[in-house]
Amino acid sequence: MNIKINHVILTWARKRNHLSIDQLAEKIGREPSEVHQWENGEHKPPYTVLEALAYNHLHIPLAVFFFPNPPDIDDPAGKFRRLTDYELSRLSSDTLWKMRIGQAYQESLAELLHGEPSRGKIFRDVNPDGLTVERLAKQARDFLGVSLHTQYSFRSNETAFKHWRHSLEEAGVYTFKDTFKDKHISGFCLLDNEYPIVFINNSTAHSRQIFTLIHELGHILFGVYGITDINEAYFEHMTSADKALEIKCNRFASELLVPTDAFADDILQFRRDDPDSIGRIAGKYSVSKEVILRRLLDADVITPHYYQTKAAEWNNEYLRHAKGEGGSYYLTRLAYLGEGYVQLAYANYASGRISMEDLASHLRVKARHIEQLANHLR
């Protein structure tokens, strides 16, 4: 059965997801000429195709196709005004969808934390104005309450990531994760006066997730929407001011994770003829090798060419070995949502503030999975 829709909506939804007619046609297994005819109103798409378009590819309710005009929906991509056309064009519909999911999590936080006692929030209490990067990083680390002694005691990068993530939650910044189809994107942040969030690509190694988490914290402290891209080639397409800010966020993350004063002794352990020396230093701090590489560059121990060469080598290696989905559904959901957020949602349910259906909606799971997810949380 073919259904008459508002063809203007189809064009709006396709462009909103950064898809060409050819790309959309390929996704649904149709000829581009068919999609072109649907958008011109010459033909009507089959109902089954319409469902697939709405729920699987364009991420809008089916009913929107019958609206008289495109809805006035806040598009998160529009908030990333600092990104160049080059970088925006690289974002797939999947990443744009992740941004909208992030907005939904922010709305959930607003409901779940409503009426909660006000706590100190790092994005209010740590002000970067007038501070050097080193001083800002120290203030942020002190606010998060993660000492070097604690950092040295982490048994794995996964443990380290969980600790940094929990510290940020306590400081008012929740972190969510998912597997991105855009492997070059490590994560992004979405601003809000009350509920800024960080969204991380779970395909990346935990050491890279840690850097992304702190890099995006830098974006939040400086009050900008940001994306962490594995390849810094997009810097060359930015204005001088935006490029300077990205470099500052990189320095902030490196300084917070590996403070200059502590790193002074570690510099002596670096050997150009020993490729494992960087890895050993990285293991001490539970960070990626690239963070140590940045620190060595900041200290003028290596040249920019050496840094760029090794960083490109490691990034290409990462892209070849980026992990996909796997393991327990419930443990994956907990990793994506974060235990702090899940506990918050269940506490609202236990107190009667929200219903079972509300709880499932906040957790983005089906109601039948609620009990098992709680068991895995415990």
DSSP string, 286-323: T--HHHHHHHHHHTTSS-HHHHHHHHHHHHHHHHHH--
| DSSP designation for 367 | G
What is the C-alpha separation between 259 and 267, in angstroms, rounded? 12
What is the C-alpha separation between 368 and 370, in angstroms, rounded? 6
Q: Would you state the pLDDT for residue 141?
A: 98
| DSSP designation for 114 | T
Residue 88: partners with Cβ closer than 8 Å, 6 or more residues away: 18, 77, 80
| DSSP designation for 236 | G
What is the C-alpha separation between 282 and 73, in angstroms, rounded? 44
Q: Are 287 and 211 in contact (CB under 8 A)?
A: yes
What is the C-alpha separation between 207 and 183, in angstroms, rounded? 16
| DSSP designation for 117 | P
Q: Would you state the pLDDT for residue 92?
A: 83
What is the C-alpha separation between 6 and 144, in angstroms, rounded? 51
Q: Would you state the pLDDT for residue 91?
A: 80
What is the C-alpha separation between 157 and 152, in angstroms, rounded? 11
Q: Would you state the pLDDT for residue 166?
A: 97
Q: Are 107 and 194 in contact (CB under 8 A)?
A: no
Q: Would you state the pLDDT for residue 172?
A: 95
Q: Which amino acid is at 40?
A: N
Q: Would you state the pLDDT for residue 326?
A: 61
Phi and psi (nearest 5°) for 230? -60, -40
Question: Could you give the 3-state DSSP secondary structure of residue 366?
Answer: coil
For residue 268, how many other CB atoms are within 10 A of its CB?
8
The pTM of the full predicted model, rounded to 2 decimals, is 0.84
Q: Would you state the pLDDT for residue 255?
A: 97
Antiparallel, parallel or unpaired: β 185-190 and 197-201: antiparallel
Q: Would you state the pLDDT for residue 233?
A: 67
Q: Which residues of the chain have pLDDT under 70?
A: 73-78, 81-87, 117-118, 231-235, 316-326, 378
Structure confidence by residue, pLDDT tens digits, 3-17: 788 888 889 888 888
What is the C-alpha separation between 105 and 271, in angstroms, rounded? 45
Q: Would you state the pLDDT for residue 251?
A: 95
